[in-house]
Structure 1
């Protein structure tokens, strides 16, 4: 199976680029990067970039890649690793390398895939998942979490204490749901007749997490 020559992950510091120099030549990597910029149509403009150090790029090859970044309006981000780790730890977020970290450029980060068991996502901002959050997967966000699929894993909105945050899913059946410092579980469907067929929203009301149908939610009306 073909390997990805370039992997891009968002973080609170910027967009981190991983170059697979073990399985692709520099020319292949460079042309793949050119193609990504052409497909993005301005998406990377004004973004900050970080090049992962685990590669075999020569100095002149790195400079050529950085020139391409600059050509498309990007700037290099210098990282204070200690500050980054401390801020995530203060929010109660597991800082191991298995957690993908995303920084919202404007209002939200779109994750256009499902999360499988063991995957962890942390978003600085609102998280929009275009897929399912499966059992064993975790998604955390400083803002809201919106899932266009089923939520059967763990979801934690407002991780830095935002009590106005919410979690919404087309099928809300998480193993655990948390908003700010409140933790709860969604009720299990007791029979096929009770199986959820409409979006639901979870939010804090009267110091506890409330789950309601999104279409008739008081929270929706209050925040419209």
Structure 2
């Protein structure tokens, strides 16, 4: 992410809070999704060439949004890749080093994870509430978010992006993320009071907007 590496923000990601993802009943993926076993094992043994590693990164990006809908075998292979890299934050950093779908997926995943984290901060909730009261909410977000602003508002937005990724509507997910990032950056900068989390969110959303735009153009 140009002068601000993705690791600055993925390193702070926390696991989704219970109930955040709220998977819909139809979110049941087929059991055929997975990673190529041979490439996975050779990657874990550091015996994969650049071209094959790019393809593996594309496969990981394709299945990462499917989450609990993956078959046990697919989860096991994804865990093998993630463990070899050092964990989930390092997995996103690795995807970000591969152009196309892997990079875009990494940046959108970083956004949704941090939206959940920002939801826990009262100053962020107040800033979002103030921005909505000022009538600054884009029409696209107005149609998606519940009227009431509370600690679930940003998690709802993260869920919408996650859902689009799950449905393989990556372009729509990127467009929603760009709209949300621009609005949240403005909300944070115009908040009635300041806080470290608001300053961080404003910085993150500013860089993320440009980075998602660049990554999306290559997909």
- Normalization by structure 1: what TM-score? 0.24
- Higher strand fraction (1 or 2): 1
- Higher helix fraction (1 or 2): 2
* Structure number with higher relative contact order (C-alpha < 8 Å, ≥ 6 residues apart): 2
Structure exhibiting the larger radius of gyration computed from Cα positions: 1
